[in-house]
C-alpha cells in the first residue's frame, strides 16, 4: 500500500510539473513509466552528421495527448514540448516522470533537434494532432526531422518505450565538379575559387500530423549581389577527373523542399592550373528539362557538372561568359 501511494504521489507531481491542470483524476492506477526510444527511419537518408543524432546531449522535443478509448472528444495534453535527451548510450530521458494509463489512446509528435524555434502544437483527438514549424530558415544548417507515434493502452502493465522514427523534412543538395582531360588536355585541371547559388526559397513553414507533413515555401531569394548559398576556396579547390564535391561538410545545403524555380542558378568563379592567374566567372541555370526540377523531403540530390575546353582554351572577355547555357559544351549539368 505504501508503494502504491508513492507512485500516485509521483504521478501527481509529474503531471503538475508539465504545467497541466486539466488532467482528470484517473479511474485506475497508472501502469509503467512512459519512456522513449529514437532512431532515423530506414526509408530516409542518413543524417548529415549521423553521430549527432544519438550523441550525448542530443535532444528532441515531444508533444503528446491522451484520450479515453471510448471518448475521443475529451483530449488531455500529456507532453507540451518536453525536451528528451540522449545519454549517448541509447537511453533517452526527460525531467519528471509520466505513466501509462489503461483504456487511454496516446498520440505523440516530435521535432529534432530541440533547439528549433517557431514550433507550435495543435492538440486534437486521434491522428489530427499536428505540429507546425513556422518561418524555418534552412541557412541555419539544421537537418530538421520529425516523428510521430500512436499507442492504445488496453490495460495496466509493462509497456514498451515509444519508438519514434524520425524523418528528414529537408532536401540535401550538393554539386560535383569534374575536370575532363579529353576536353582540357592531359594534366590540365579546373581550379574552383568560389561557387554560389541564387534564386531558390530558403524559408518555409512545415505542418504535419505525422513525420511527413507538407511545406509552404517562402519567396525565392538571392539577387545578383546576394547569393542564397556561397562557398569560397581562397587557395583554390582542384576539380579532379573523377569529380570533386562542393557544398559539403559545414557548407552543406539543407534546402526547403520545392519545385526549383526557373531562375535558380549556380555561379562559379574558377581558373586553370596552367596559363597564369586569369579567372573566369560564369553561370548556368540548373532547373532544366533534363535535370531534377523538384526537391523532395528526405532526398539527397547531387548535380554533376563539367567545365570544358571552351572556357579555358580561348581568351574571350570575361563578360562574354557571364551567361552560358546549361547545354553548352563549355558548361553542362549531366
The pLDDT of residue 322 is 23
Joined together, the cell numbers standing for residue 295 give 526537391
Rounded to whole angstroms, the maximal C-alpha distance in the chain is 91
Give pLDDT tens digits for 288-311.
545 557 788 887 777 778 776 433
Q: Are residues 190 and 137 in the same domain?
A: no
Are 32 and 158 a contacting pair, CB within 8 Å? yes
Are 186 and 256 a contacting pair, CB within 8 Å? no
Phi, psi torsion values for 89, nearest 5 degrees: -125, 20
Phi, psi torsion values for 6, nearest 5 degrees: -65, -35
Q: Are residues 292 and 318 in the same domain?
A: yes
Q: Are residues 31 and 93 in the same domain?
A: yes
The pLDDT of residue 30 is 67
CA distances from 13 to 6, 110, 129 (A): 11, 23, 25
Domain end, chosen from 111, 146, 168, is at 168
Helices (H), the chain: 2-17, 50-54, 181-184, 309-312
Q: Are residues 310 and 272 in the same domain?
A: yes
In this prediction the pTM is 0.78
Q: Are residues 135 and 244 in the same domain?
A: no
Q: Are residues 132 and 70 in the same domain?
A: yes
Q: Are residues 121 and 205 in the same domain?
A: no
Q: Are residues 264 and 197 in the same domain?
A: yes
The pLDDT of residue 21 is 36
Containing structural domain, residue 105: 2-168
Q: Are residues 115 and 72 in the same domain?
A: yes
Q: Are residues 77 and 195 in the same domain?
A: no
Q: What is the pLDDT along the chain (334 residues), one digit of tens a residue?
A: 333 333 333 333 333 333 333 444 445 566 789 999 999 865 555 455 555 788 899 999 999 999 888 876 788 999 999 999 999 999 999 999 999 999 999 999 999 999 999 999 998 876 788 999 999 999 888 889 999 999 998 877 778 999 999 998 998 888 888 888 877 778 888 899 999 998 889 999 999 988 788 999 987 665 556 788 999 999 999 999 988 989 888 888 889 999 888 788 888 898 888 877 788 887 777 765 455 577 888 877 777 787 764 332 222 122 222 222 333 333 333 3
Q: Are residues 324 and 193 in the same domain?
A: yes
Nearest alpha carbon to residue 171 among 40, 44, 42: 44
Q: How many domains does the chain have?
A: 2
Which residues does residue 76 pair with via DSSP β-bridges, in sequence order?
66
Are 31 and 11 a contacting pair, CB within 8 Å? no
Domain end, chosen from 144, 168, 192, is at 168
Residue whose cell numbers read 581568351: 315
Domain end, chosen from 168, 186, 202, is at 168
The pLDDT of residue 150 is 92
For residue 306, what is the domain's CATH number?
A: 2.60.40
The pLDDT of residue 28 is 57
| Strand 171-179, strand 300-307: pairing | parallel
Q: Are residues 184 and 160 in the same domain?
A: no
CA distances from 100 to 97, 159, 255 (A): 10, 8, 39
Amino acid at each position: 500500500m505504501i508503494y502504491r501511494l508513492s507512485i500516485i504521489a509521483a504521478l501527481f507531481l509529474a503531471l503538475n510539473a508539465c504545467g497541466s491542470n486539466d488532467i482528470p483524476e484517473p479511474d485506475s492506477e497508472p501502469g509503467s513509466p512512459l519512456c522513449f526510444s529514437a532512431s532515423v527511419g530506414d526509408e530516409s537518408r542518413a543524417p548529415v552528421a549521423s553521430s549527432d543524432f544519438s550523441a550525448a546531449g542530443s535532444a528532441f522535443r515531444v508533444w503528446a495527448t491522451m484520450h479515453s478509448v471510448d471518448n475521443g472528444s475529451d483530449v488531455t495534453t500529456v507532453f507540451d514540448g518536453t525536451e528528451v535527451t540522449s545519454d549517448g548510450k541509447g537511453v533517452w530521458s526527460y525531467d519528471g516522470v509520466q505513466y501509462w494509463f489503461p483504456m487511454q489512446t496516446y498520440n505523440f509528435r516530435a521535432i529534432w533537434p530541440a533547439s528549433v524555434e517557431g514550433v507550435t502544437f495543435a492538440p486534437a483527438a486521434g491522428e489530427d494532432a499536428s505540429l507546425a514549424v513556422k518561418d524555418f530558415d534552412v541557412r541555419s544548417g539544421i537537418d530538421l526531422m520529425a516523428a510521430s507515434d500512436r499507442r492504445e493502452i488496453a490495460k495496466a502493465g509493462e509497456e514498451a518505450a515509444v519508438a519514434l522514427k524520425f524523418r528528414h523534412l529537408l532536401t540535401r543538395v550538393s554539386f560535383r565538379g569534374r575536370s575532363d582531360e579529353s576536353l582540357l588536355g592531359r594534366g590540365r585541371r579546373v581550379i574552383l575559387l568560389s561557387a554560389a547559388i541564387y534564386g531558390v526559397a530558403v524559408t518555409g513553414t512545415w505542418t504535419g500530423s505525422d513525420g511527413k507533413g507538407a511545406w509552404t515555401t517562402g519567396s525565392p531569394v538571392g539577387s545578383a549581389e546576394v547569393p542564397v548559398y556561397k562557398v569560397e576556396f581562397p587557395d583554390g579547390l582542384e576539380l579532379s577527373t573523377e569529380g570533386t564535391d562542393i557544398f559539403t561538410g559545414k557548407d552543406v545545403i539543407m534546402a526547403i523542399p520545392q519545385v526549383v524555380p526557373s531562375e535558380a542558378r549556380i555561379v562559379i568563379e574558377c581558373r586553370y592550373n596552367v596559363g597564369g592567374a586569369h579567372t573566369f566567372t560564369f553561370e548556368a541555370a540548373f532547373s532544366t528539362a533534363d535535370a531534377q526540377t523538384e526537391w523532395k523531403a528526405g532526398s539527397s540530390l547531387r548535380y554533376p557538372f563539367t567545365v570544358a575546353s571552351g572556357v579555358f582554351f580561348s581568351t574571350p572577355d570575361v563578360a562574354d561568359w557571364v551567361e552560358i547555357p546549361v547545354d553548352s559544351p563549355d558548361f553542362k549539368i549531366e
